[in-house]
Structure 1
Amino acid sequence: MRDLVEATWFSRAVLMVIVANALVLGVETSIADPTVDLWLRRVDTVMLWIFVVELCLRIFAHGRKFFTDPWSIFDLLVVGIALVPASVDSLSALRALRILRALRVVNAVPSMKRVVNGLVAAVPGMGSVGALLMLVLYVSAVIATKLFRDIAPGYFGNLGTTLFSLFQVMTGEAWPDIADAVMAEMPGAWIFFVLFILIVSFAVLNLFIAVIVSGMESLEEELVEHDKEDDASNAALLTEIRAIRTELATLRAERDGVPSHLDTSAGGAN
């Protein structure tokens, strides 16, 4: 069973079903014909039970190890959400999350899995950068509120409004309108906006990319080191096997030589 669920053809077949199911769910949102919609729902149900059977086979093949793999738990949760009865009003909204099954492609494609693992490895560093970003935003919001509260109350009337306005400036969304509203009364306000964009958009936000790239590089280095260790252990194993074969050949030669020696000695004695 383990050979079956780990076979290449089996993984590719599951991947094809995942992609087809994602397409079916997408088409289902655009079909107004009740008959076609009914058939699409039936196809979706068949694919869902294919996923259920696949998970049962994997659980049977791997046993407890299945529940120690985060990706396997993710697959189990995603498929389990789709099994929630639509008649349950409090949980019917979860049916809309059926499209999450398309995310199982990540588990089925090793290259995508490595990318996600790199992102997960970068989470601690991203937390530090996020804290730095929040600190810069908070300090900038306090300064902007004190400077521009009376000039543009719609953007900087209070701390909450200022935080949202600065978030717009940080993302580059409509920031010229915000700056123009302030600079109409305070021409020197451009200094604040230019410095804020340089610090936040070009420095702090790029740190997120740097941390993610660093995390992925670290993961790749670990994989390379692991491959080197495997190669070294395989080479040592081959050396030991060759040594054992040499010893066996020596023992066989000695064993084959002992009877002839005894026969010769016995013949001479006779």
Structure 2
Amino acid sequence: MQRAVILVIIVNAVTIGCETSAYLMERAGGLLHAIDRIALAIFTAEIAARLYAYRAAFFRDPWNWFDTIIVAVALIPASGPTSVLRALRILRALRLVSAVPSMRRVVGALLAAVPGMASIIGLLVLMIYIAAVIATKLFGDIVPERFDELPRSLFTLFQIMTGDDWGNVAQEVMEEKPWAWIFFIVYILMSTFVALNLFIAVVVNAMNDVEGDAAENETRAELESVRQELAAVNAKLDRLLIRTPSPSPSAELGSPVDR
């Protein structure tokens, strides 16, 4: 059933993408709309079946809330003021995250890394702010279209942090101040190679913790299964010993004729 739902999600995502093509809509628009409605009906039936099966426990799983919200958004009429919500139908493709266990583990690791990432984001924002103030003071008169005010300097430094056209920005400043390369290289090293790599380290560490917890839970489940099997075997042995009568003393010595 889970594999069938994954297949429906993939097919529905492809059909929604095909609806963006005017060529395909002219020739197969009715078919694409029909597939979309069938997929939505399947998703709704699946949510209803899960709700019937799990009852109150259905709402204790955050992934069930995730799936329900996505399907509920698709059920809103895509006409009038809510017509913009029609574009949100592609969010149904996000159900792959809840349907595929490996994707759920990745998302869980990202959520677990949020506290550590918040500290790194704060450090990165502080670093960019300090660099923007310095750049505005030093280069505002040289390249005013990039560093004349603090907001513009913040945007330019964010662009440099992503590696987008930073060489040309540095060359424009270095035409007037040749030593400006020191500022840009130090800033790139601190922002890109240090702060962004810290993001990766925190996420990888969180993923290792999640995978370790999953492996530990699996081991515990296996040990619990073995314990239950051993308990069942012991119970069977006890019943067999109770049913088997013990031999009497006369039977052990034999009858007088035998002697």
Question: Normalized against structure 1, the TM-score is what?
Answer: 0.87
Deviations 1:119-150 (A, max 9, x none): 12111111111111111111111111111111
Partner of 1:58: 50
SS of match in other structure, 2:232? helix
Q: In the alignment, which of 156, 162, 174 is matched to residue 165 of structure 2?
A: 174
- Could you tell me how far apart the structure 2 residues matched to 1:87 and 1:73 are? 25
- Could you tell me how far apart the structure 1 residues matched to 2:133 and 2:203 are? 30
- Could you tell me how far apart the structure 2 residues matched to 1:88 and 1:61 are? 36
For the pair 1:111 / 2:102, whether they are aligned, the reply is yes
Deviations 1:207-252 (A, max 9, x none): 1111110000000111111122223323333333333333323322
* Structure 1 unmatched runs, 5+: 1-9
For the pair 1:68 / 2:60, whether they are aligned, the reply is yes
Deviations 1:104-124 (A, max 9, x none): 112221122212211121111
Partner of 1:148: 139
Deviations 1:170-228 (A, max 9, x none): 00111111111111111000000000000111010011111110000000111111122
- Could you tell me how far apart the structure 1 residues matched to 2:3 and 2:225 are? 29
Partner of 1:28: 19
- Could you tell me how far apart the structure 1 residues matched to 2:232 and 2:121 are? 54
- Could you tell me how far apart the structure 2 residues matched to 1:251 and 1:104 are? 55
For the pair 1:257 / 2:242, whether they are aligned, the reply is no
Q: One-letter code of the match for 2:71?
A: V
SS of match in other structure, 1:29? coil
Aligned-residue offset at 1:263: 11
- Could you tell me how far apart the structure 2 residues matched to 1:135 and 1:262 are? 95
* Structure 2 unmatched runs, 5+: none
- Could you tell me how far apart the structure 2 residues matched to 1:27 and 1:160 are? 40
| Contact persistence 1:17–1:47 (CA under 8 A) | yes
Deviations 1:60-116 (A, max 9, x none): 111112112111111111111111112231x22111010111111122211222122
For the pair 1:102 / 2:93, whether they are aligned, the reply is yes
Partner of 1:6: none
Moved more, 12-21 or 24-33: 24-33
- Could you tell me how far apart the structure 2 residues matched to 1:243 and 1:61 are? 34
Q: One-letter code of the match for 1:137?
A: I
- Could you tell me how far apart the structure 2 residues matched to 1:94 and 1:207 are? 37
Partner of 1:208: 199
Aligned-residue offset at 1:154: 0.9
Q: RMSD of the TM alignment (CA)? A: 2.1
Aligned-residue offset at 1:56: 0.8
Partner of 2:236: 245
Q: In the alignment, which of 45, 48, 51 is matched to residue 40 of structure 2?
A: 48
| Contact persistence 1:84–1:92 (CA under 8 A) | no
Question: Normalized against structure 2, the TM-score is what?
Answer: 0.91
For the pair 1:236 / 2:210, whether they are aligned, the reply is no
Q: One-letter code of the match for 2:113?
A: A
SS of match in other structure, 1:172? coil
Partner of 1:187: 178
